[in-house]
Amino acid sequence: MVVLPWWFPATALTRDSTACPEDRGLLLLRAQVESVHELGHTIGLIHCPEYTCAMHASRAAEEIDLKGPGFCGECDKAVRAAGLGTRL
C-alpha cells in the first residue's frame, strides 16, 4: 500500500490517457519521482527548467513521465551543497 501525504496530488498520478489505475508499476514510479521532487523542496530546491529533472514542475501525469527520480547537474550540485548525496 502506498501512503501519500495529504498535500500530494494523488489524482495527478492517474489522470491521463497513458495509464490505468491498475498500472501499478507506472503509478509507483510516478509516486517515486514526485516524492523525490517534494523532498528536494524540503532542502530548499526550487523548480528546475530541465524537463527530465525530478525538480521540474509537473502539472500533468504525462509531464511526470518525462522526468526521472534523479536530479540534473545543477540540482545535483545544490543537493551536494546541502551536504546530501543524490540518493535521498
Can 38 be counted among the known catalytic residues? yes
Closer by beta carbon to Zn ion, 9 or else 23:
9
DSSP collapsed to 3 states, the chain: CCCCCCCCCHHHHCCCCCCCCCCHHHHHHHHHHHHHHHHHHHCCCCCCCCCCCCCCCCCCHHHHHHCCCCCCHHHHHHHHHCCCCCCC
- Which residues ranging from 57 to 76 are in contact with Zn ion (CB under 5 A)? 72, 75
CB-nearer residue toward Zn ion: 13 or 75: 75
Among 33, 55, 61, 64, binds Zn ion (CB under 5 A): 55
| CA distance linking residue 52 with residue 36, whole number of Å | 13
x/- mask, Zn ion, residues 12-51, rule CB under 5 A, reads ------------------------------------x-x-
Report the catalytic residues.
38
Could you list the residues that contact Zn ion (CB under 5 A)? 48, 50, 53, 55, 72, 75
